[in-house]
Structure 1
Amino acid sequence: MARYRREVEEAIRTQKGDPLTLAEMECSLDLVDADLAALRSGKPDTRTLMSADLAAEVRRELQGLITTMRLYCKLN
């Protein structure tokens, strides 16, 4: 997340988004969504990387970063 924050700050500063970073961020969002789905399934054998609260918090922040990066990628 720290690198994604830096990348978005750089995109804002330079008015240029990085499409590869955007794609990576979107893949990370997919992984977080998969963790959330696993947590919601209630299956005892499901292993996730984070708690539901943390996953939801990460998802919210990541979605905001993606929205900003998309804007600056479209400006290019």
Structure 2
Amino acid sequence: MEKVIPFVPVGLLCALTRPDLSTAVSHFLVLAASRFCHSVVYLMPIPSAKTSFSATVQPCASLFVASHTLPFLQ
């Protein structure tokens, strides 16, 4: 949850600024895929390095969405 909460306001701002549809869909798909992969990796007996790698993708997706959203807010 700690990684989902920052993405919610960024995602809402992104949706309200009407970005390019293919860009927005790709960002949201990366987010969903990273959450799914993190859940699967978390449940399996895999070393923590792989778990942390899958958990790093979502903040990156949040930053990419924010970087594409902020120019539209000005």
Superposition TM-score, scaled by structure 1 size: 0.52
Count of residues in correspondence between the two structures:
55
Quick one: percent identity of the two aligned structures? 11
Counterpart in the other structure of 1:37: 39
What residue number does 2:56 align with?
57
Once the two structures are TM-superposed, the CA of residue 73 in structure 1 deviates from its matched residue by 5.7
5+ unaligned residues in a row in structure 2: which ranges?
1-18
Deviation digits for residues 9-67 of structure 1, max 9, x if unmatched?
Answer: xxxxxxxx4221111110111001000011122368xxxxx921211222111111113
Q: CA deviation at 1:69?
A: 2.4
Task: Compute the RMSD of aligned alpha carbons.
Answer: 3.0
5+ residue gaps in structure 1?
1-16, 45-49
**TM-score, structure 2 normalization:** 0.54
Q: After superposition, where does 1:1-76 map in structure 2 within 5 Å? A: 17-42=19-44, 51-72=50-71
